[in-house]
Structure formats: structure tokens, C-alpha cells
Amino acid sequence: MTYQRIRFPRNALAAAVLAGACLQAHAQTARFEIAAQPLADALAQFGRQSGAQLVFAPALVQGLRSNAVHGSRDVAAALAELLRGTGLQPRRTGATLTLERVPADAAATLPPVTVTAAAERETATGPVIGYVAKRSATATKTDTPLVEIPQSISVIGREEMDARGVQDLMQAIAYMPGVAVNAYGPDNRGWEINLLRGFSANSSSYRDGLARTPFGVNFYVTEPYGLERIEVLRGPASMVFGKGDVGGVIHQVSKQPTGEQIREVELQYGSYQRKQLGFDLGDAFTGKPELSYRLVGVALDSNDQDQYPDGHKLNRSRQYLAPSLRWQPDATTSFTLLAEVLKNKSAEDPYFISGNGVLSNVKMGDYSFSGIQQEQASLGYRFEHRLNGDWTVQQNARYSHVTLDRRVVWVDAMGVDGRTVARIARTWNDPQTQAALDTQLQGRLRMGATEHTLLFGMDWNRQKGSALRYIGAAPDLDLLNPVYGVSIAALQNPLADYTQQTRQLGWYVQDQIKFGGNWVATLGGRQDRVRTRTDDRLNAAVSAQTDKAFSGRAGLSYLLGNGWAPYLGYSESFLPNSGVDSNSQPFQPSRGKQLELGLKFQPEGARSLFTAALFDLRKSNVVTYDNNTFEARQIGKQRTRGLELEAKAELLRGLNATASYTRLDMKVLQSADSSEVGKIPPLVPKQTAAVWLDYLVGGGFGVGGGISHVGRRQNDEANSSSERSFTLVDAVLHYEQGPWRFALNANNLLDKKYNAICYHGECYQGAERAWTLSAKYRF
């Protein structure tokens, strides 16, 4: 019989052959998503996902069907399951596996096979293999090994998100160092209130390389089921992304077509009547292997942990659909079209009335009036064309539209009797649009003893938002006998009516230089021009402001060998500030500067990554307010120094772990209120720590758990009071059998009672115990 050595053609799904480079002996497990299908197609997917090198005669598999294989599996066991019942078995010869028929007198079970595999073919925007990522494009916009990036970065992939039962962005990044999530407690509205190295992350959201900038309280909402990976780059990053705050970047990478068959449906039911249906479908088009698609959808209906004193529940619902299409006519060109539609509807009253740090069960608002509705839609593309073996042109583009209809009832004043609360009502109608375009030219060249990875780019961003806001009186509330469901008249008093448009244009250049055998230097610079125009119809005023800024970055890494890489990095950021001071002088952009010293260790032949970072980060031109005159002044300066540690590893076969620790020393260096100098900004925890373990026990069963600790936080700028630290326990039980995966996740398993913060006496309750049962079927 004549055998063929199988390779990876673009139309491998239509062909009955596959191949892969020889895998090194350490890579014994891999993540598989293979449905039951014709055996030739299944073997093609097996080769891609494991890297195993197979040799077989096409006629040998003709007419045969495979079994399904899903989840993280031993490579040899996965192949055995794939071939079960086909009458075929693998025979290993050196690094090659040859398929042959099982002899007639052989035992029914296949003999043990040792499968070797090659270096995992992870890409910067593709799936993370296991828990440990090796590459990223967030820090440099080029596909770069993590150990060569002279800045602190963390990555969580789909497998870890599924294991931990992630339901929102905050849960996904909560175990990372340098991150503080849910600063005001759990938020059923979907708002992502996070801190990076002590600074607000409101302006830090990016999706597929392009900014998702908030407009006022119109924040983009994230559906985590639609993501392949989430990456957090800590510290200033304006050289790469342009305007942004000093804390860093939260970069989300969407699920995209792969050309392989994906068939997944998931049902969830959990605490507070949570019900969710999700599906993820993808494949190449029959007869057109150059065209592939993916369709991700979610429908959610759930109540919140809070409720009104009369028992009325706070409900939220979400519908999400994300279709994508990829055209890849040859190995040099690809064009991916990405779309997303999300509708989010929620109650809008996470606030309880409190005093002297004591939280009551009396809600501020009223369910007859309070609520928030948000709809966001986007359409974009990613184009890449390799000009030759060294140079590639790439362009990312996206247009998005977000509408916001928000209504609230808030406390205005406490009556003299100590029980009657005067309230006000407010509304927001704040739609926004955002268009973004990023064009890059990447190239590699050798100059003498140096190797260069060059990046030249230009990006453009236009954001336009309108604000129509009203304010008015609401009925008083009796704290001892609160009555809800009362009628609130339509508001007539306008609070704001303006349109604001911001245009940004940036040019950047970067050079990643390898020299001396072990050194890697990363040098980059960027020039931005930002123009903001505000048309204030309420006050019949038009204002415009133009800001220009240069942002640089320089880093040096030394590759010691066997995965060790110490580094030193410097980076800058800028963030335009709208408005003027008391002298009608426009505010200058806030600037950030950071010096970071770190060490990364990713051992060769192991699935693990260990990082440590020391940093000094400073933000200047901070807009602060005088507590007596309430005038805005730009004389603020803040500084944070810290230590971050992170470990992600497959400790044993089937045992994955992630751990982190952060210690921050943050203080105000300059402020309009001199009493704040030397104080710690509110909301910032001095220490955070987390550890998570997940173990495949055997027989399809697995168990996991995590512990997260958040240190003391100051409740106000004067540091007059603080919230005590708290520690939470999470857990999971899961079972996989064939195409099915069942999981029971519990958050705050011990039901720890705590306040996230009591900002200026207004307390926000922390997340209570919640469990979720999920059933996933892959076919």
C-alpha cells in the first residue's frame, strides 16, 4: 500500500490529508474541538489542533466517520477516541504516526501510543492553548512572544474563561495582577468599572486593536462569550494606541472564523433566576474552502442580587449576535468581516440609602421610573496581505453606534425629621457613534548583525456624541415606610443639551531589534493630534480645542536562555481633558510616564509563564477640584509604585494553575486641595492576591477552585475612613463525556458579606454567593 505524507493545504477540509511539524515530547495534551464527521475531515482538524504528523493512504479512510473529541485531552487518548470503531489504529515510527488497519486477531482495544508534538502554533489573535499564552499583539501590534515584550501583560484565553465560568469582563480579569474590579460592587447594568495600577480604566477598552471610547456615561458593554481572549497591558500605552489613561489597556479579541467546523450550544441556569442560551457555530463553506464563517449568539434573562424592600426584583436582559466572515483566497491574503449587535436592558438602581457607613435595605430609586436601555451595533473588517516573505500590509476598521436611554431617582437631601428623604429624578439620552481606522506596514530585515521588525502606521478615530439630559423633582421617601411604584411626571427642566465631536489622527513607528544573540530592544514613537469641538445648545456656546502630543517607548530585554528574560522599559501616555479652568483656559492633556523593571520566565518544553515587575508610574496634569469653591484646576499629580507577580502553569498533566499578587504604594503628590497631598486616592486597594487551580481528576471529572483577596480601600479623598479587606472563595465541578460538558460554578462560595466601597458615606454592597449550572453540547 502506498502512503502519503500529509501536509496542511488551505483546503484541508475538502482534502483527506493533513500534516504538522513534529511535536516535541513535552506537549502531551492539547485542546480539541472536533465534531463527529467524515474521518478524513476529522483527521485534518486533529492535525491542526495537536500538531501530530500522520501518514496514511486516502483510500484507507474513505467512507469512515470519526467520533467527537472535545476539551483538553491527552493527545494519544484523543486520537484513540477519534479512531474508536473505525477499525484503524496508529503505529508510531520515530516522530511519525502511520494509520493502518487493526489486525483481525488484535484485541478490541487499541494499544497505547506515544504521540509527540511540535511547538504549539499559537498566533497573537488566535486561541490560547490551555491556560498559558505565548504570544500577543497588544503591546507592539506585531505577533511577538510574551517574553520579548518589555512591559507587563496578562492574557486569559477561552479555556480558562470557560473553566472559571466567566460571566462578564470583570470576572475574567479579576485574577490578574495590577487589576481592581467592581470598584462599586456588582453592576447589573453591565458597566465595567475597573482600575489598572490604581488608575481608572474607563478609557482603556479596546476591541480587535481599535478603541471603544466611552461618551459620558455611555460605556460599551462586553459579552464575554463572544471573545477568544482578553489581554491586559499595564502601564502607559499611547505609543501603540494613542490617547489613553496611564493605567494601561484592556484588549478584547473576538472569536473569528477558523475554517474548521465549530458546533456548540450552551444552556445556563443559576442564582437570581439567571437563564442564558449561547451558541457558537462555524465552518468553511461547502465547495469554497477559501470562505469560512462564524456565528456567536447569546440570550440572557436574569435578576440581580438586590431587590426593593417590597420584594420587587431588579431584572436585566441581553440579546447578542456576532456574525463574521473570512475570505482567504491564498496563503498571502485574508479579509475578515466582523459584525456585532447587542441589546442590553436593565433596572437602574444599584444604590441603597446609607449613613455613617451603615448600609440599609432602602433603595434610593423607584422601579416605576428607573431603568437603562442600551443598544450597540458595529461593523468592521481586518485585512492582511503579505507583499513578500518579509513585508505585510494590514488594515483594521470599525464603525459603531451606541444608544443610551437612562433614568434614575437619587437622594437629594435628608429631612430635618431624620426619616424623610427628598429625591430628584434625572434622565440621559446620550447616543454616540465612533469610526476607527488603523493602517500598518510591517516588515523584517537584517542589517549586519541585527534583525529588525519594523512597524509603520497611521490611525484615525472620530467620535461624535450627543447629550440631552433632564432633571426634576421626585416624590419624597419615608425611610421607615418606603413606598415604591409611585408615578413620576415627565421631566421638563433641561440639564444639558450638547453635541461633542472628537477627531484623532496619529502616526507611529516602531523597531524591535535583535542583536548580540540575546538582546531585544523595542523602540517606538508616535505623534498625535486631537481636535474636540463642542456645540452647547443649552447655553448657545461653541468651543473647540486642539491638543498635540508625542508619546514614546523604549525597552530592553535580555534573553538569558531556557526562557529567562529580564527587561527594563519606559513608556508614556496622554489623555485629552475637555473643559476649561476658572480663567477660561483649556485643560492640557494629562500625561503619564512609567519606568518598569521586570523578569519573565517561560521554560522551554513546559506550559508555564512566570512574571515579576517593579514599576514607578506618574500622572501629571490631573484635573482636581477645590472643595470650597468647586472650581476645576489642573494642578494635580499622582504617583503609584508597586510590585506585581503572576504565575500561569500546567503543573501536572491536567492540573492548571494561575496566581497573582500586587502591592501598590499610591499617593497624591499635588492637588487643588492641599489636604489631599500625601493621601491615597479612594477605591485603590493596597494589596490584591488571587490563586486558581483546576484539575482533571479522570473519567471526565474535574474540580477547581480559587481564592481572591482585596486589601483595604479608602472611602474618600481625605482618607477619613476605609473599607476593610475581604477574601472570596470560588469553586467549580465539571464533567465531560463525549460531546457533553457539564459544570457547576460557585462564586463567593462562603457568602462573605462586605462592602465594595462606601464612597463619601454612600455604600455599595459586594457580590453575594451565586452559583451557575451549565450544560454545553458540541456536535
Between residues 252 and 66, which one has the greater pLDDT?
A: 252
Is 726 within 8 Å of 749 (Cβ atoms)?
Answer: no
611 & 650 share domain: yes
721 lies in some domain:
yes
CA triple 643-646-652, angle to 5 deg:
155
CATH number, position 157? 2.170.130.10
Amino acid identity, position 548: K
90 & 222 share domain: no
Between residues 254 and 305, which one has the greater pLDDT?
A: 254
The predicted structure's pLDDT at residue 87: 85
Q: Which tens digits make up the pLDDT trace of 159-172?
A: 999 999 999 999 99
115 lies in some domain:
no
182 & 300 share domain: no
Residue 534 has pLDDT above 60, yes or no: yes
123 lies in some domain:
no
Across the beta sheet with 179-180, the strand order is 179-180, 195-196, 199-200
Which DSSP category does 147 fall into? G
129 lies in some domain:
no
Residue 104 has pLDDT above 70, yes or no: no
Amino acid identity, position 313: K
What does the mean pLDDT of the chain come to?
89
707 lies in some domain:
yes
Residue 632 has pLDDT above 80, yes or no: no
What residues form DSSP beta bridges with 19?
Answer: none
Tell me the residue range of the domain where 55 lies. 4-101
Q: Which of 407-416, 543-552, 618-627, 724-733 has the lowest mean pLDDT?
A: 618-627
Element (H, E) at 503: strand 493-515
The predicted structure's pLDDT at residue 281: 97
Residues near 623 by Cβ (< 8 Å), separated by ≥ 6? 577, 579, 587, 590, 632, 633, 634, 636
435 & 287 share domain: yes
Distance CA 621, CA 519 (A): 36
Is 631 within 8 Å of 592 (Cβ atoms)?
Answer: no
- Answer positive or negative: Cα dihedral of 157, 162, 167, 171: negative
Total domains in the fold of the chain: 3
CA triple 332-335-341, angle to 5 deg:
160
Distance CA 139, CA 6 (A): 36
96 & 176 share domain: no
Domain boundary pick from 101, 117, 148? 101
Give the gyration radius of the chain's Cα atoms: 27
CATH number, position 21? 3.55.50.30
216 lies in some domain:
yes
pLDDT band at 673 (very low <50, low <70, confident <90, very high): confident
237 & 271 share domain: no
Q: Which residue has the cell 474618600?
A: 716
463 & 580 share domain: yes
Q: Which tens digits make up the pLDDT trace of 724-779?
A: 999 999 999 999 998 999 999 999 999 999 989 988 767 888 999 999 999 999 99
247 & 289 share domain: no
Cell of 773: 449550572
The predicted structure's pLDDT at residue 8: 36
Domain boundary pick from 217, 235, 254? 254
546 & 656 share domain: yes
pLDDT band at 20 (very low <50, low <70, confident <90, very high): very low
274 & 242 share domain: no
Highest mean pLDDT among 271-285, 360-374, 575-589: 271-285
270 & 373 share domain: yes
288 lies in some domain:
yes
Mean pLDDT value of segment 18-41: 59
Mean pLDDT value of segment 670-683: 92
CATH number, position 421? 2.40.170.20
Distance CA 773, CA 431 (A): 36
53 & 15 share domain: yes
Domain boundary pick from 50, 80, 101? 101
Cα-flanking dihedrals φ and ψ of residue 57, to 5°? Answer: -85, 130
323 lies in some domain:
yes
Between residues 353 and 612, which one has the greater pLDDT?
A: 612
- Answer positive or negative: Cα dihedral of 38, 40, 41, 46: positive
